[in-house]
Amino acid sequence: MEYMGIDRDRLHFSWVSSAEASKFITVVKEVTASVKALGPATKFVKDRRQVS
Amino acid sequence: MIGYIDKIREVALKLLNEEKVDMVIGYRQGSLPMMTEPCFVKRPEDVETLIWDSNCRINLAAYLMDRKEKIGIIAKGCDSRNIINHLVENKIKREQLVIIGAPCKGMIDNKAIALQFGQDIDEYQETEDQITVKGGGTEKTFQKVDVLQENCAICNHRNPVVYDELAGDLVEEQTDIDRYEDIRKIEAMDIDEKWNFFEDMLSTCIRCYACRNACPLCYCPTCFVDESKPQWVGKSNDPNDTRTFHFLRAFHCAGRCTDCGACERACPMDIPVRLFTKKLGKDCLDLYGWEAGLDPEQRPPLDTFKPDDPNVGMK
Ligand code: SF4
Ligand code: SF4
Ligand code: SF4
């Protein structure tokens, strides 16, 4: 995704087991923080009227 | 390389006469000079239609999926690697196949030649190293190395990887080539440059899917782009949809693409779609030391787990 021009911080991968509640929380916090820091996406956005 | 045809016809004739195969898949002359078509020879008297020259670009492995017959097939390096992919993916059985290997010195870029010649080409001839085209009262000779297809110029598996018969002596593999210069150039761009580069590259795509249809890997009965329940991607040529098609197709080919170039050749708009598949080829090589289609016994990196697999980008 980065290769084609999507910011690395918009895409996150993690492996969280159902027993790892605290890891889940940390990951979600990190994801939201880094996406918020980037602001609204301008790439790969399709206006709802254009959805065909 | 041009001399292979006698041997190809001889083997095809023998296989058909002895009923070792039901058909031989090869190439025949197309309707224009420098164009060939795939052909399916089922009768011994038709083996004369088979031809061989530097225009046999089509990847014949694309005609093997789920066939029930016994088949003789002509295979360049890249075709043979796609045949191995099919074996690994259970699309055909090895015992159904008699592979006539064609050690390859590269196929030529007919569009580049036509462009440089600047006239309609009426006649075509080739020797081991030279290509001569005639038309409009003039003729021009090219050195073959100067007009190779880009993927052939950087090919490092020209000899068939698997074969039962050989149409000629094995050729020397190219070792002093840099396969990924173009990919590194894109990797070095900043994020907006990357985005704009592909936006521009894909702007002329008409979503005809010729690239997909020519590819031996793209054999899904219903491609994700054609599904409507759910509809994964819009059917228009909206830039987002077009991009989605291309990068998802590339992911579907990850660890499988042999860089045969059939996709790019099929494109009526000359879009270098291999820039997507090659990136994943490069990643597979860098991360897993993997090149597709070299060993029918080995499982591809994307369907195996190893404890020491690199966890790129995983948190
Ligand atoms: S990719 Fe390699 S094997 Fe295939 S046609 Fe080109 S040079 Fe020959
Ligand atoms: S994606 Fe293109 S280069 Fe790769 S195997 Fe398919 S047709 Fe060949
Ligand atoms: S063949 Fe070319 S124009 Fe057609 S869908 Fe593929 S990239 Fe687009």
Which range of residues forms the domain containing residue B241?
A: 178-308
With CB atoms and an 8 Å threshold, state whether A13 touches B198.
Answer: no
Identify which ligand lies nearest to the alpha carbon of B259.
2
Residue B27 β-bridge partners: B38, B51
pLDDT band at B237 (very low <50, low <70, confident <90, very high): confident
Residue B247 within any structural domain of the chain: yes
The secondary structure of chain B in percent helix, strand, coil, rounded to multiples of 5, reads 35, 15, 50
Atom of ligand 1 nearest to the CA of B107: 5
Distance set, CA B161 to CA A46, B37, B122, B155, B169 (Å): 45, 23, 36, 13, 14
Q: What is the rounded average pLDDT of the residues B124-128?
A: 94
Give residue A51's pLDDT: 65
B20 DSSP assignment: S
Count, residues in chain B? 315
Q: What is the rounded average pLDDT of the residues B120-131?
A: 95
pLDDT in tens, B91-100: 999 999 999 9
Q: Are residues B297 and B254 in the same domain?
A: yes
pLDDT band at B125 (very low <50, low <70, confident <90, very high): very high
Q: What is the rounded average pLDDT of the residues B72-101?
A: 97
Residue B220 within any structural domain of the chain: yes
Q: Are residues B250 and B194 in the same domain?
A: yes
User: Token match 């002596």: residue?
Assistant: B169
Please calculate the CA angle B254-B257-B262 and round it to the nearest 5 degrees.
Answer: 135
With CB atoms and an 8 Å threshold, state whether A15 touches B195.
Answer: no
Give residue B2's pLDDT: 85
CA of B251 to the centre of ligand 3 (A): 16
Q: Which residues between 12 and 41 in chain A have a beta carbon less than 8 angstroms from any beta carbon of chain B?
A: 12-15, 27, 30
User: Token match 């790969």: residue?
Assistant: A44
Extract the tokens encoding B211: 């690239």
- In percent, the amount of chain B with pLDDT more than 70 equals 100
Is A48 in a helix, a strand, or coil? helix
With CB atoms and an 8 Å threshold, state whether B194 touches A50.
Answer: no
pLDDT in tens, B197-224: 999 999 999 999 999 999 999 999 999 9
Across the A:B interface, residue pairs with CB atoms under 8 Å apart total 54
* CA distance between the termini of chain A: 23
Give residue B304's pLDDT: 86
C-alpha span between B20 and A14 (Å, rounded): 53
pLDDT at B302 > cutoff 90: no
Atom of ligand 3 nearest to the CA of B214: 1
Q: Which of B186, B199, B234 sits opposite A52 (nearest CB)?
A: B234
Give residue B309's pLDDT: 85
Identify which ligand lies nearest to the alpha carbon of B148.
1
Chain A interface mutation, best of B237, B240, B244, B286, highest count of A Cβ atoms under 10 Å? B240
pLDDT band at B315 (very low <50, low <70, confident <90, very high): confident
Long-range contacts at B222-227 (CB < 8 A, ≥ 24 apart): B224/B248, B224/B252
Give residue A46's pLDDT: 84
pLDDT at A52 > cutoff 70: no
Give residue A50's pLDDT: 67
Q: Taking the model in full, what pTM does it have?
A: 0.92
When divided into structural domains, chain B yields a total of 3
User: Token match 């093997």: residue?
Assistant: B64
Shortest CA distance to B130 belongs to which of B33, B27, B1? B1
Residue B200 within any structural domain of the chain: yes
pLDDT in tens, A2-33: 899 999 889 899 999 999 999 999 999 999 99
Shortest CA distance to B199 belongs to which of A35, A6, A49? A6
- A13 contact partners, CB below 8 Å, separation of at least 6: B313, B314, B315
pLDDT band at B310 (very low <50, low <70, confident <90, very high): confident
Nearest-Cα distance to chain B for A40, in Å, is 15
pLDDT in tens, B3-56: 899 999 999 999 999 999 999 999 999 999 999 999 999 999 999 999 999 999
pLDDT band at B111 (very low <50, low <70, confident <90, very high): very high
CB B90 within 8 A of CB B69: no
Which chain A residues are closer than 8 Å to B248 by Cβ? none
Q: Are residues B21 and B164 in the same domain?
A: yes
Structural domain spans, chain A: 1-37
Extract the tokens encoding B144: 């073959």
Atom 2 (ligand 2): residue with closest C-alpha?
A: B263
Residue B313 within any structural domain of the chain: no
Q: Are residues B123 and B227 in the same domain?
A: no
Q: Are residues B161 and B138 in the same domain?
A: no
Q: Are residues B71 and B86 in the same domain?
A: yes
Q: Which of A5, A14, A44 sits opposite B194 (nearest CB)?
A: A5
Q: What is the distance, to the nearest Å, from the Cα of residue A32 to the centroid of all Cα atoms in its chain? A: 7
Looking at chain A, which residue has its C-alpha nearest residue B201? A4
Q: Are residues B204 and B125 in the same domain?
A: no
CA of B293 to the centre of ligand 1 (A): 13
CB B57 within 8 A of CB B262: yes
Mean pLDDT of chain B: 95
Extract the tokens encoding B169: 């002596």
pLDDT at B228 > cutoff 70: yes
Q: What is the rounded average pLDDT of the residues B167-186?
A: 95
Q: Which of A14, A43, A51 sits opposite B234 (nearest CB)?
A: A51
